[in-house]
Amino acid sequence: MAVIETDTFDETALVAQLQRGDAEAFETLVRQHGGRMLAVARRMLGDEHAAQDAVQDAFLAAFRALGEFGGQSQLSTWLHRIVVNASLMKLRTRKRKPECSLESLLPRFLEDGHQAEPATPWTVSAETACESEEIRRLVRECIDSLPEIFRTVLVLRDLEQVPTEEAARLLDVTESVVKTRLHRARLALRGLIDRRLQGASPC
């Protein structure tokens, strides 16, 4: 006799209730996934008000598309795609803020191949840094300082773990463009972190 995993069974039952238009099921969906969806939107948009709007749009889109959900992926994965799409729509329609030039953020190299401004040595381990609220806030601020097209691809690939192929589709660019932007964004992010650690202006 096959054993049904409780989580899978609960999600299947929830989806069935949602597809019947059960209002309480929708409240359950919002309660279970709203916080994580808001966190995704915050990372994508860097703005609380815009993130809340994106999540509202995402839940509305999810409600309209529930009839198409066939269970091929987990509900959380499906919602993640929807909130990423909603956030990208917000990015495309909002007014661009003045941004640093990416070139000014990239490391400069001497003719002998050495970095002109050596990277600041990290005095803490990667594990300790990840646990430090101050370091996490510094990294988040540096990510937010990246030009939008590079910040977006960095967030999609490194924070949201969106595969290169899907990121290319979402951004309407080639996979090569995604890889190039991601590489440059990572270099610029390290440069920004170094400057902040040295107390220098980011731009």
Phi, psi torsion values for 115, nearest 5 degrees:
-70, 130
* Residue labelled with tokens 């039952």: 13
Answer yes or no: do 10 and 86 share one domain: yes
Answer yes or no: do 89 and 106 share one domain: no
Answer yes or no: do 84 and 153 share one domain: no
Q: How many CB atoms lie within 10 A of CB 185?
A: 25
| 3 residue type, one letter | V
pLDDT of residue 7: 47
Residue 30: is it exposed, middle or buried by C-beta count within 10 angstroms (0-12/13-18/19+)?
A: middle
CATH code, domain carrying 129: 1.10.10.10
Answer yes or no: do 109 and 149 share one domain: yes
* pTM, two decimal places: 0.73
Based on the structure, what is the number of domains in the chain? 2
Is residue 123's pLDDT more than 90?
Answer: no
Answer yes or no: do 108 and 194 share one domain: yes
In the DSSP assignment, the letter for residue 173 is: S
> Could you tell me the residue range of the domain that residue 31 belongs to?
6-93
Q: What is the pLDDT of residues 50-91, one digit of tens each?
A: 999 999 999 999 988 888 887 677 888 999 999 999 999 999
Mean pLDDT of 179-196: 89
- How would DSSP label each residue in 55-92? HHHHHHHHHHHGGG--SSS-HHHHHHHHHHHHHHHHHH
Q: What is the pLDDT of residues 9-41, one digit of tens each?
A: 477 888 888 888 888 988 999 999 999 999 999
**Domain annotation covers residue 203:** no
